[in-house]
Every structure is written in C-alpha cells, then in structure tokens.
C-alpha cells in the first residue's frame, strides 16, 4: 500500500473515533443526592464503629467470659466432630442455630467445618452490631423429644434444647412387650438433664411420682445454678460446671444456691446424693442379676422384658444426669425405688 493511501485511511479512522467520543460527552451536574440513612451500628451515621466499641471496649468483659468459656467442656470436650444430621443439632454450633430456626430435630445435611458451642451459638453476635446482640438465641419453652412434655426453664431453655434425653430405640413402654436391645450404647444418651429437672422421660413404672421444688422455683433453671457468679475459671459463669477442686477434693460451687439455701446446704447435699448413689448401687445389683448389665456397668444386649429395659433406661439416665439427685431428688428417687421394686419381685 502506498504511503499516501495509509495517511488517508488514518485520517478517516481519527474522524470516526472523534465522532464516537463526542457522543459520550458529560452533561451538566445533576442535583445533589439525599444524605445516607444512619447505619444500625453507629449512632449518627458518621462513625461506623460506635456500635462495635460498646462491646469491643477495654472493659475486658469479652476476655473474662472467653477465659471461662475456654475452660468449659463446651470448648474442651472435643466431641464436635459429631457433625452428621442426627448429632449436629447439639454437637455443632451451626447445627444448633439451624435447628432452632427450622424447628426440625435434625439438620438437613452434615455440617461442614463444624464449630463447638461458642459465643455465636448462644448469643446473636454480629447480627445488629449493637449490644442488643447479647440477647440469647432462644428462650422458648422446649418440647422434649422423649416424652413430648414441654418444659419451661426461662433462660435455661437454651440449655434444655441440647441437654435433653434422646429417644432410645427400642423404647420400652410400661406394661408393654419385651424389647430387643442390640447396642451396648442403648439409652437416652449422655445429657438427659432437662428431662430429669422437668420430671419427665424416665420409665415411670409404679406410682408416687412427684417433683422436687427445683423444677418450678428455680426461675431460670440451669442458668440460675450453673451460671451464677463465676468462681475464677473453675466453676459457674461461662465455665458452667458446678464443681471445682479444693485442696484435692471436689467441692460444689454454691454461689447460685445461697439465696434460697442460706444455711444447712452441705448436709442437704450429702443426704440427697448419698441416698441416690445408694439406690443406684442397689438397682445395679439387680440389673446384673437379671443379666442386663455387666459388673463394669456395661449393657448386655439381647431380648428383655419392658421392665428390665425400663430399669436399665432409668439407671443410665440418672447416672448420666451427673447431679446425683440434686436436679430433682423426688423424681429420681421414685424412679429408682419403683425400678428396684419391679426387679426384686421378678
Ligand atoms: C454484642 C457485642 C458485640 C458487638 C456490638 C460487636 N462485636 Fe465483634 N465480637 C463480639 C464477640 C462476643 C466476638 C467473639 C469473641 C471471641 O470469639 O473471642 C466478636 C468477634 C469479633 C472479631 C473477631 C473475629 C470474629 O468474627 O470472631 C472481630 C474482627 C469483630 N468482632 C469486629 C467487630 C466489629 C467491626 C463490630 C462493629 C461493626 C463488632 N465486632 C461489633 C461481640 C461484639
Ligand atoms: C448446642 C448444644 C448445647 C447447648 C445450647 C448447651 N450445651 Fe452444655 N454441652 C453440650 C455438649 C455437646 C456438651 C459436651 C461437649 C463435648 O463433649 O464436646 C456439653 C457440656 C456441658 C457441661 C459439662 C458436662 C461434663 O461432662 O462435665 C455442662 C456443665 C453444660 N454443658 C452445661 C450447659 C448449660 C448450663 C447450658 C445453658 C446455659 C448449656 N450447657 C448449653 C451441648 C450444649
Ligand atoms: C439432644 C442433643 C444431642 C444429640 C442429638 C446428640 N448428642 Fe451427644 N451429647 C449431648 C450432650 C448434652 C452431651 C454431654 C453430656 C455431658 O457431658 O453431661 C453429649 C455427649 C456426647 C459424647 C461424649 C460422651 C462422653 O462420655 O464424654 C459423645 C461421644 C456423643 N455425645 C456422641 C453423639 C453422637 C454420635 C450423636 C449422634 C448419633 C449425638 N451425640 C447426638 C447431646 C446430644
Ligand atoms: C452455652 C451458651 C452460652 C455460650 C456458649 C456463651 N454464652 Fe454468654 N451468656 C449465656 C447466658 C444464658 C447468659 C445470661 C446469663 C444470666 O442472665 O445470668 C449469658 C450472658 C453473657 C453476657 C452478659 C450479657 C448481658 O446482657 O449483660 C456476656 C457479656 C456474655 N454472655 C458473653 C459471652 C461470650 C464473650 C461468649 C463466648 C466466649 C459467650 N457469652 C458464650 C449463654 C452463653
Ligand atoms: C438447683 C440447681 C441446679 C439446677 C437448676 C441445674 N443444675 Fe445441673 N447440677 C447442679 C449441681 C449441684 C451439680 C453437681 C453435682 C455434683 O457433681 O456433685 C449439677 C450437675 C450437672 C451436670 C454434670 C456435670 C457437672 O457440672 O457436674 C450437668 C451436665 C448439668 N448439671 C447440667 C444441667 C442442665 C442442662 C440443667 C438445666 C436443664 C441443670 N443442670 C440444672 C445443680 C443444678
Ligand atoms: C430458687 C431457689 C433455689 C435455688 C436457687 C436452689 N434451691 Fe435447692 N431447694 C429449694 C427448695 C425450695 C427446696 C425444698 C426444700 C424443702 O423441701 O425443705 C430445695 C431442696 C434442695 C435439696 C434437697 C433435695 C430436694 O430436692 O428436696 C438439695 C440437695 C438442694 N436443694 C440443693 C441445692 C443446690 C446445691 C443448689 C445450688 C446449686 C440449689 N439447691 C439451688 C430451692 C432452691
């Protein structure tokens, strides 16, 4: 191509580009926009961290609660790899939040990247980015799986969702057929406390069932006793345990008890626990003699009458409860005495 032709073509190209750019010329400025609305976190819409620093301040409150929580079995237990649909609602934080939203007994799927129970499980952390986020994630009364009975422990309902008996399969029915137990792990699982405190879920053979006053007078149930003023990071507060070691022996932290029991508590505790442990030992002897339990306390699988299976259920529930009668002395002693009577006469 000739030089002259190239120059000519370039001239046309420049003309075309000029025409296009002149079409996108900027017009006169429009009217000013409206001011933005205030964010929920700041107070005046100018300081985005005003909400944050109401919690993330130098009060050390998050640190103190975190230290207690880190010493709790919720942080140290390590069983949150139990993340499949059946287990995740209680063993993972995400599964719990899914369940209290959906109302279902299981999660839809296995929870990936499971987290243990933590601040976000029990508080609405980082929802509005204001101190209102300290609200607990649920306070609704809980209909217990095992019996369908609804319990109401105020703030303790949060705990009752997870610390409730699971439905044993098969489930023995008073006066019903014999059952075949196929697993040595059969029972109502490890955390039946809401059933025990509520006085429901045991194998209620015989008569005379009643509840200890703890069922109704302790307004916030679990929280009143287990989350009273923290004893360092050893008990209560966000550590949530009731006992600590004192000069080598286990001591119950009574911070949450003293308003109702200003005196005489030690005697009351030891009388209650001694009686319950004694009844448990008697029932174990009978379960062993019926071939349902080994000397080491392990279930011997096989076919058994509803009463033997029911007594086994009661034994395991009361043992797993961990309070040795303190949660609901009347209910627990009646379950044990009636189970003992049923097995003695067989
Ligand atoms: C209700 C009190 C509260 C408010 C308000 C709040 N936070 Fe938090 N924040 C927490 C708690 C509790 C944790 C978890 C602490 C822990 O796990 O150690 C946390 C954790 C964090 C973390 C650590 C990473 C994480 O996600 O765990 C960051 C970063 C953070 N917050 C930033 C903010 C910012 C930015 C704001 C405001 C926009 C804010 N927070 C508002 C309570 C609050
Ligand atoms: C999301 C379910 C869930 C909630 C909610 C929950 N827990 Fe737990 N809790 C567990 C699980 C699971 C364990 C055992 C953790 C492990 O082994 O990994 C546990 C352990 C504990 C322990 C230690 C038991 C031991 O063997 O020493 C105590 C005490 C306890 N929880 C009390 C509470 C109280 C009180 C509340 C309510 C303020 C509560 N929990 C709320 C699931 C929950
Ligand atoms: C209704 C809530 C709930 C469900 C569902 C649940 N767990 Fe648990 N589990 C608990 C609680 C609460 C504890 C802690 C009890 C305690 O330490 O007092 C626990 C404790 C455990 C432990 C520790 C036992 C020990 O002796 O330290 C294992 C292991 C476990 N669960 C496995 C499972 C598996 C596997 C599944 C699913 C098949 C499951 N859990 C379903 C609430 C639940
Ligand atoms: C198992 C449930 C649970 C977990 C996990 C948990 N909390 Fe709490 N928290 C509660 C309950 C229940 C209360 C109310 C206690 C009361 O009223 O006596 C509470 C109260 C608080 C309060 C006082 C709130 C107020 O309104 O003044 C703070 C602060 C707090 N928790 C921080 C934390 C932090 C930080 C974490 C994580 C390290 C955490 N919590 C984990 C259940 C939990
Ligand atoms: C009246 C006070 C009181 C109430 C209410 C109460 N607990 Fe307890 N709980 C205790 C005491 C005291 C022990 C410890 C007994 C011992 O170890 O000697 C205990 C033991 C336990 C244990 C065994 C582990 C441990 O910390 O020793 C768990 C888990 C537990 N309680 C959970 C709960 C849950 C969940 C609720 C609510 C459904 C609840 N408790 C309600 C006083 C209470
Ligand atoms: C809201 C009040 C209240 C709180 C909190 C409370 N109790 Fe009780 N407790 C009672 C009442 C009422 C009775 C029944 C007393 C009676 O019948 O003479 C009782 C009875 C008992 C009994 C005897 C067995 C029974 O159930 O009748 C024991 C043991 C006991 N409490 C231990 C405790 C311990 C340990 C704590 C703290 C971890 C505690 N209580 C917290 C009100 C309370």
The confidence band for 4, taking pLDDT boundaries of 50, 70 and 90, is low
Q: What span, in angstroms and rounded, lies between the C-alpha atoms of 99 and 282? A: 40
Tell me the mean pLDDT in the region 207-229: 98
Flag whether pLDDT at 6 surpasses 60. Answer: no
Q: What span, in angstroms and rounded, lies between the C-alpha atoms of 203 and 309? A: 9
pLDDT in tens, 127-149: 999 999 999 999 999 999 999 99
Q: What percent of the chain has pLDDT over 90?
A: 85
Of residues 301 and 46, the one with the higher pLDDT is 301
- Taking every pair of C-alpha atoms in the chain, what is the biggest distance, in angstroms? 121
Question: Cβ distance 219 to 228 under 8 Å?
Answer: no
Residues lining ligand 3, CB < 6 A?
79, 82, 86-87, 89-91, 162-164, 166, 189-191, 322
- Which residues have a Cβ under 8 Å from the Cβ of 261 and sit 6 or more positions away? 254, 268
Q: Is 59 in the pocket of ligand 1 (CB under 6 A)?
A: no
255 Cα to the center of ligand 1, angstroms: 30
What are 171's two structure tokens?
A: 């489930």
Tell me the mean pLDDT in the region 213-241: 97
What is the model's pLDDT at position 7? Answer: 52
Q: What span, in angstroms and rounded, lies between the C-alpha atoms of 326 and 313? A: 19
166-169 LR contacts (CB < 8 Å, sep 24+): 168/313
159 Cα to the center of ligand 2, angstroms: 7
How far is residue 279 from each of residues 179, 283, 285, 295, 306, measured CA to CA in Å? 25, 6, 10, 16, 20
Flag whether pLDDT at 15 surpasses 50. Answer: no
pLDDT in tens, 300-325: 999 999 999 999 999 999 999 999 99
pLDDT in tens, 83-105: 999 999 999 999 999 999 999 99
197 Cα to the center of ligand 6, angstroms: 12
For the chain, give the mean pLDDT: 91
119 Cα to the center of ligand 2, angstroms: 13
Atom of ligand 5 nearest to the CA of 224: 5
The confidence band for 31, taking pLDDT boundaries of 50, 70 and 90, is confident
Flag whether pLDDT at 14 surpasses 70. Answer: no
Question: Cβ distance 167 to 146 under 8 Å?
Answer: yes
């Amino acid at each position: 191509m000739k030089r002259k032709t190239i120059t000519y073509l370039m001239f046309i190209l420049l003309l075309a580009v000029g025409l296009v750019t002149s079409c996108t010329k900027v017009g006169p400025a429009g009217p000013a926009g409206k001011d933005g609305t205030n964010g929920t976190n700041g107070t005046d819409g100018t300081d985005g961290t005003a909400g944050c620093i109401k919690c993330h301040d130098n009060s050390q409150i998050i640190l103190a609660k975190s230290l207690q929580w880190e010493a709790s079995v919720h942080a140290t237990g390590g069983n949150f790899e139990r993340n499949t649909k059946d287990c995740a609602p209680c063993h993972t934080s995400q599964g719990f939040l899914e369940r209290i939203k959906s109302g279902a007994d299981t999660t839809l799927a296995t929870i990936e990247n499971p987290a243990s129970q933590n601040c976000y499980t029990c508080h609405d952390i980082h929802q509005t980015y204001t101190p209102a986020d300290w609200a607990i994630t649920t306070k609704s009364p809980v209909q217990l799986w095992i019996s369908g009975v609804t319990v109401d422990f105020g703030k303790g309902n949060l705990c009752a969702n997870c610390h409730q008996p699971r439905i044993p399969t098969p489930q023995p029915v008073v006066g019903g057929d014999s059952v075949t137990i196929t697993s040595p792990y059969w029972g109502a699982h490890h955390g039946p406390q809401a059933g025990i405190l509520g006085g429901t879920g045991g194998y209620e053979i015989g008569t005379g069932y009643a509840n200890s006053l703890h069922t109704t007078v302790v307004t916030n149930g679990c929280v009143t006793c287990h989350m009273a003023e923290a004893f360092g990071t050893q008990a209560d507060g966000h550590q949530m345990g009731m006992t600590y070691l004192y000069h080598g022996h286990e001591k119950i932290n009574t911070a949450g008890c003293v308003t109702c029991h200003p005196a005489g508590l030690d005697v009351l505790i030891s009388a209650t626990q001694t009686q319950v442990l004694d009844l448990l030992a008697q029932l174990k002897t009978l379960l062993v003699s019926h071939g349902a339990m080994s000397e080491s306390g392990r279930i011997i699988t096989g076919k058994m009458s509803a009463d033997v299976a029911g007594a086994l259920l009661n034994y395991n529930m009361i043992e797993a409860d961990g309070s040795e009668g303190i949660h609901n002395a009347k209910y627990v002693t009646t379950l044990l005495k009636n189970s003992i009577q049923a097995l003695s006469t067989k």
